[in-house]
Structure 1
Amino acid sequence: MPSAVTLIRSQQLSNVAQYAYASTAPANARLIFLAGSCPLNQDGSTAGIGDYAAQAAKCIENLKIALEAAGAGLPDVISTRVLVASSTQKDLVAAWEVVRAAFGNHDVPSTLMGTTVLGYDHQLVEIEAVAAVLD
């Protein structure tokens, strides 16, 4: 099935960013709004305590499961927001590198944000996403 997502780049914006600056989906696409994907194991415990990269990987794993349940996959994601409980840039980058690698060539528009705290005990990373699919 063809993708509903079109990634948009501009030569007038910095090429330093590792993602497209915008994306679109046609009017007939079904949008999927995902809750923030957290680094939680199935039993509710937090994975990768103290490890930004490990928590980002678990968030991606859980995001893929949620997308699949909605009839989508990572190539259908139209935007993300990556939240990292840190004020240190290297911690944000550690999480971002995992997220960026997971999306591969589908360099979806993304926002990377440091925040003071997230909702679960020992949680360091959360990933919000919106996807679009053609039915």
Structure 2
Amino acid sequence: MTTGVRLIRSDQLTQQVDYAYAAVVDAPVRSVWVAGACPLDMDGKTVAAGDYAGQAHQVMKNLVTALEGAGASLTDVVKTTVYVASGNRPDLVAAWQVYREYMKEHDVPSTLLGVTVLGYDDQLVEVEAVAVISGISD
């Protein structure tokens, strides 16, 4: 199945960013809203305590699994928000670099935020996503 996501870049905005400024999806589509993917293992325990990159890997694996459960993939994602529990830019960058490894060339609009705290013990990273699947027939 081909994705219905078209990423928009503007030549009137800087090209020195590794994400698109907007995404467009033409109807009909099925929308998928993914709860924030957390760095939890199958037992519900936070993995890689203290390791931003390690947690980002688990978060992205969990995001892929959640999307697959809805019949979607990372290339169907139209928007993400990456939350990092830190006020230090290098920590945000560490999580972002892992996120980019998974997203590859599909550089959807995304917001990267440093936040005070996340919901689980020792949690440092969370990613939420919105995806659309085109050409869905029930």
Q: Same fold (TM over 0.5)?
A: yes
- For the pair 1:113 / 2:113, whether they are aligned, the reply is yes
Q: TM-score, normalization: structure 2?
A: 0.96
- For the pair 1:97 / 2:97, whether they are aligned, the reply is yes
- For the pair 1:124 / 2:135, whether they are aligned, the reply is no
Q: Cα RMSD between the aligned structures?
A: 0.6
Q: CA deviation at 1:27?
A: 2.2
Deviations 1:77-119 (A, max 9, x none): 0010000000000000000000011110111111000000000
Question: In the aligned structure 2, how far is the partner of 1:55 from the partner of 1:13?
Answer: 32
Question: In the aligned structure 1, how far is the partner of 2:14 from the partner of 2:48?
Answer: 34
Other-structure match for 2:22: 22
Other-structure match for 2:49: 49
Other-structure match for 1:83: 83
Q: TM-score, normalization: structure 1?
A: 0.98
Q: Secondary structure at the match of 1:71?
A: coil
Question: In the aligned structure 2, how far is the partner of 1:2 from the partner of 1:26?
Answer: 13
Percent identity of equivalent pairs: 55
Q: Secondary structure at the match of 1:94?
A: helix
Q: CA deviation at 1:65?
A: 0.3
The letter of the residue matching 1:60 is M
Q: Extract unaligned runs of 5+ from structure 1.
A: none
Deviations 1:36-69 (A, max 9, x none): 0000001011011100001011000000000000
Question: In the aligned structure 2, how far is the partner of 1:98 from the partner of 1:85?
Answer: 15
Question: In the aligned structure 2, how far is the partner of 1:125 from the partner of 1:29?
Answer: 29
Q: Extract unaligned runs of 5+ from structure 2.
A: none
Other-structure match for 1:9: 9
Other-structure match for 1:31: 31
Other-structure match for 1:73: 73
Q: After the TM superposition, list the runs of 4 or more consecutive aligned residues in structure 1 that deviate by more than 2 angstroms.
A: none
